[in-house]
Each structure stands twice: as C-alpha cells, then as structure tokens.
C-alpha cells in the first residue's frame, strides 16, 4: 500500500513535533558533564526515591512521578524541564 501525500505530511509533522518536544541523550550527557554549549534545563528523575538513591544522572533532581503534581509549583519556571526514568524510551 503506497503512502499518500497526506500520510507523508502527517508523519513528517508528527516527527518534527516529537523532536521539538524531546531532548536527545547526547544533550543530557553534555549537560551532566558540564560541557561548554550544553543546553540549560532542569533534569528531573521521575523514578521512585529508592531508585534515585541507588543511582541517577549527576545534577538531576528527584521528583517521583507520583509526586510531580505536588512538587511542580516548587520547580523554577525559567528553565526547560526534562524528565527521565531509565525505561529506555
């Protein structure tokens, strides 16, 4: 089944929006290593506190997903928020 122009346009728009909304792993690595030119954001580890205590990306803040609503007001509004959970997605 051949793709229509509308399908192609919809796919292109979907992936363009996805790329705008997500940070790449390399951006996070540069940020964690404090490399010059790294993007500026708050990195939130949304796993549970026990998992965070065992290991996390240096500089990340522990904000478990089930506490995110309660803690959201305490997070700065002047920086981009980037979340991770180590699920591989």
Question: Buried (b) or exposed (e) across 10-45, using 16+ Cβ within 10 A?
Answer: eeeeeeeeeeeeebeeeebeebeeeeeeeeeebbbb
How do the domains of the chain map onto residue ranges? 24-84
pLDDT at residue number 89: 45
pLDDT in tens, 35-88: 999 999 999 999 999 999 999 999 999 999 999 999 888 888 899 999 998 765
**Within 13 Å of residue 15, how many CA atoms lie on the same side as its CB?**
5
Q: What is d(CA 12, CA 4) in angstroms, rounded to the nearest whole number?
A: 12
Give pTM, 2 decimals. 0.75
pLDDT in tens, 5-26: 999 999 999 999 988 888 888 9
């Amino acid at each position: 089944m051949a793709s229509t122009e509308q399908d192609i346009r919809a796919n292109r728009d979907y992936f363009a929006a996805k790329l705008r909304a997500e940070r790449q792993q390399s951006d996070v690595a540069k940020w964690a290593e404090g490399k010059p030119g790294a993007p500026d954001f708050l990195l939130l580890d949304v796993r549970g506190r026990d998992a965070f205590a065992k290991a996390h990306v240096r500089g990340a803040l522990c904000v478990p997903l089930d506490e995110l609503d309660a803690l959201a007001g305490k997070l700065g509004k002047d920086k981009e928020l980037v979340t991770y959970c180590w699920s591989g997605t």
